[in-house]
Every structure is written in structure tokens, then in C-alpha cells.
A and B are shown apart, each in its own frame.
Chain A
């Protein structure tokens, strides 16, 4: 029975294409997907054409199917008992297909990324507007309380109510400011406004603020001389405030030590408490967003303080780290390059 055209020979690339070491005697139909449909009529046309005719076929190689682009023409027509010869020159389209599918994937990913960026941007804008709109009513609330303090602050009983309200208002205010900070950091609007100052002065100022707020708090300041550098005073104030707030929150009302020193070309502020301490796996975790050293502690934040502190340190080319053991207190260390300009260039 006639098995149709058989292959006589193939060049090395052709052999690779069909995945065989030799093709002599292999029926063409055995290599073509759906041979019955078109092959017979196609081959008849090829075997009569002295010119290359373009076409397409799907080639079977093992379990896979490779699309081929081809040209075929008659090299020697059939004559009497002599079979005709058809040359098929083909090119695999698998590579093109792969490129096309990669291109589609890249496009899909780009689109996904753009959608994500838009969503993040919308969220950040929402947070910024929300925080800004919250500040105005908070402002009126603050001012009202302050006026009440001035009018009735000396009245026993009323003063307590005012103090409680002020305490909660400060807490609410801090939460709004944290939200705003996060949105600023996320949207890249976290510019530094550098000025030259002595870190000791700032630490003292922040310390005084805490002592005013927590009259029973003991803060010991240690210094070995001026530590002057060029940093964003407001931001560094915030970083040190965050570290001290943390020490107050987890320090079990024991004295807190704040040391300011210079180590090589870095200014170093360390805040040490004698509180609940840190488990080994907390030491890095607590600097992530929404994390806390002790989830059940009496906390009043989102767990963003240390994350913001780290962003501030890094924006200055510095770092913040923690040391400690469970039950043995913790030390938080803020390191800032003394030469602010150099750190900017390095970044």
C-alpha cells in the first residue's frame, strides 16, 4: 500500500527539527500533524511546481508540535518508474511563538504593574488628603481645649477632664501624623531640610518634653561632648522621640538612659530601657510596618514608629538597630553620618 511521499534525506538542522538521526524512508505523513487533511493535495502541487511555494505545516516531534513555515518545490519531476523529488525548506516558528508569548507576558505584567502603581498612588493620595483634612478639625479641638485650660484649668475636677481629653487628643494627633508620614515616605515626598546642629541639644530638648509629659519618668542623658552634624532637625527629633516613646512604652517605668556620642565618622544616639526586652527574632521584625515588640502591651499606635524611624535614619544615610534580651531591657541605636553631604552622594 502506498504510504505517500517518503523522506530521502535531511540536513542536520532538518534532523534536529524532526528529532531523528536519519529520515531515509520515513513517511512524510508520519511527521505531519493531521496528515489526511491537506498533505496529499499540497504535495501534489509542490511536486508540479518548479518554483518555491510558501506554506505552513505543523510538525510532530515527540509529544510536541512545532509550527513550520516552509517553501517547497519540485527538484525532479516523476518520470515513468522514477519517483519525483520535492525539496522542502522549512523554518520552525516555535521560536517566534515563544517570543510572542513572552511579549504577551511582559505586556500583561507591565499592565499589572501599572495597575498596582495606580492603586498604591490612589491609596497614598487618599491617606494624604485624609490626614490633611483631619488636621483642621483636630486643630479646632486642640484650640478649644487650650482655651478651656486657660479659663477653667485651675478648677479641680475640670482640670482632670481636660487632661484626659488632651491626652487622648495628642494620641489621635500622633496617629494622624504617623499616617501622613507613611504616605509621604511611600509617595517619595520625604525631603530632608538639613541644618547644622549639635545632637546633644536636640536630645536634651526631646528629653525635656518627655519629662514634662511624664513627670515620674527618669531619663539619664550621657554625652562626651558636642556631636555636630548636618541633618533634618525635625526628622531627627521625630526619630529620637519615637525611640524614647518606645522606651517609655516597654520600659516598665524604670529609668531610661540616652547616650550621645561619636564613633568614627558617625553620630550615635542610643536609648536604653530596663523593660521587657526583646526576643532574638524581634530584633529585625520590629522595624517592619505594623509590628510591635509586644502585641498585647498597652500600646497606642499602629506599630509604625520604628519603621518611620528607620526610614528617617536611612534617608540620612544612617541606620537604626536594636539589641536586647527578653526580660533584660533593650537598647535602640540610631547612627547618622556626621558628614551629611557625603552620605547623600553615596546614596
Chain B
């Protein structure tokens, strides 16, 4: 579990920084990305796929839905579990095929528990 790589894809700077900090505090290797495109570049070039992607939906450049669609096109990326965090209605996250949807404002205990279950 410790040092499992978790990507945090969230455009809101403060939220992203806090999330990575909390997940780091909880023992994960959390990496933050500002949008889907940045995360996709990492995913396509990383030597080892991460254990989990924590993904916001509404983001500029490439949103969460588009990133997920890209991930689902490639077998090795399609297998990475995704937890969606969103200020939208949780029902709108279903098509992203997440293992869990956590509504904003994020209940951090629920998120950490969900991350632990996956990693």
C-alpha cells in the first residue's frame, strides 16, 4: 500500500495541492495534474502504470470524461481504477466507469478509505 502511485487530476490548484498533500500524509505517492492532457502524457510515458487515478470531471484543455475515454482505448490504461471526484450530480459520472464517485465537497475519510480499498 505504501508508496502506491495515485494520480490526482484536478484543475483547481488549491484543491489539487491539498488532495495530494493529504494522500501523501496517508502514505501514498500522490502526483497532481492540472488537466486530462497532462495526466495522459504521464500515463503514456510512465514506466509503470499508477495504482489509481483520482479524477475531476470539469477541467479545461482535456476534461475527465475525455481522459477516461482515452484511457479506455488502451488496454494497459483501461485497467487502472478511477475514483471520480465531482461537483456535478454523481449520476453524471457513471459513464466514466469509476470504481467510486465521491461528491464535492470531498469527505476525505470516504476518499482515503476508497483509495485504500483499491490500492
Partners in one complex: yes
The answer to whether A136 touches B19, judged by C-beta atoms less than 8 angstroms apart, is no
**Which residues of chain B have C-beta atoms less than 8 A from A151's C-beta?**
25
Q: How far is the CA of A136 from the CA of B107 in the complex (A)?
A: 13
Q: Within A320-340, which residues are at the interface with B (CB < 8 Å)?
A: none
Chain B residues, Cβ within 8 Å of A189: 89
What are the residues of chain B within 8 A of A147 when measuring CB–CB? 18, 21-22, 25
Which of A135, A143, A173, A184 has a CB less than 8 Å from the CB of B19? A143
Contact B108 A146 (CB under 8 A): yes
Q: 1/0 per residue A143-177: CB within 8 Å of B?
A: 11011001100000000000000000000010000
- Are B108 and A139 interface neighbours, CB within 8 A? no
Q: How many angstroms between the C-alpha atoms of A142 and B14 in the bound complex?
A: 11
B105 sits at the interface (CB 8 A) = yes
Q: Judge whether B87 and A136 touch: CB under 8 Å.
A: yes
**B105 touching A138 by the CB < 8 A rule?**
yes
Which of A135, A140, A191, A193 gathers the greatest number of chain B CB atoms within 10 Å? A140
> Digit string of B20-43 for contact with A (CB within 8 Å is 1, else 0)?
011001100000000000000000
A333 to B105, CA, bound (A): 30
Q: Is the C-beta of B106 less than 8 angstroms from some C-beta in chain A?
A: yes
Q: Which of A132, A136, A143, A173 contacts B108 (CB 8 A)?
A: A143
Q: How many residues of A contact B (CB 8 A)?
A: 20
Whether B108 contacts A142 by the Cβ 8 Å rule is yes
Residues of A contacting B90 in the complex (Cβ-Cβ under 8 angstroms) = 234
Q: Does B12 contact A (CB under 8 A)?
A: yes
> Which residues of the other chain, A, contact B107 by a CB distance below 8 angstroms?
142
Q: Interface digits, B89-102 against A, CB 8 Å rule (1 contact, 0 not)?
A: 11100000000000
Given that A135-B104, A173-B105, A191-B91 are contacting pairs, would A140 and B25 also be in contact in the complex, using a CB cutoff of 8 Å? no
> Chain B 39-70, CB within 8 Å of chain A: the 1/0 string?
00000000000000000000000000000000
Residue B15 at the chain A interface, CB threshold 8 Å: yes
Residue of chain A at shortest CB distance from B112? A146
CB of B22 within 8 A of CB of A150, answer yes
Q: How far is the CA of A209 from the CA of B21 in the complex (A)?
A: 26
A141 part of interface (Cβ distance < 8 Å): yes
What are the 9 A-B residue pairs with the smallest beta carbon separation, nearest first?
Answer: A143-B18, A146-B108, A139-B105, A135-B87, A142-B105, A138-B105, A139-B104, A140-B14, A135-B104
Give the A-binding residues of B (Cβ under 8 A).
12, 14-15, 18-19, 21-22, 25-26, 87-91, 104-108
Q: List 16 A-B contacts (CB under 8 A).
A: A132-B87, A136-B12, A138-B104, A139-B12, A139-B105, A140-B12, A140-B18, A142-B105, A143-B14, A143-B22, A144-B14, A150-B25, A150-B26, A173-B105, A189-B89, A191-B91
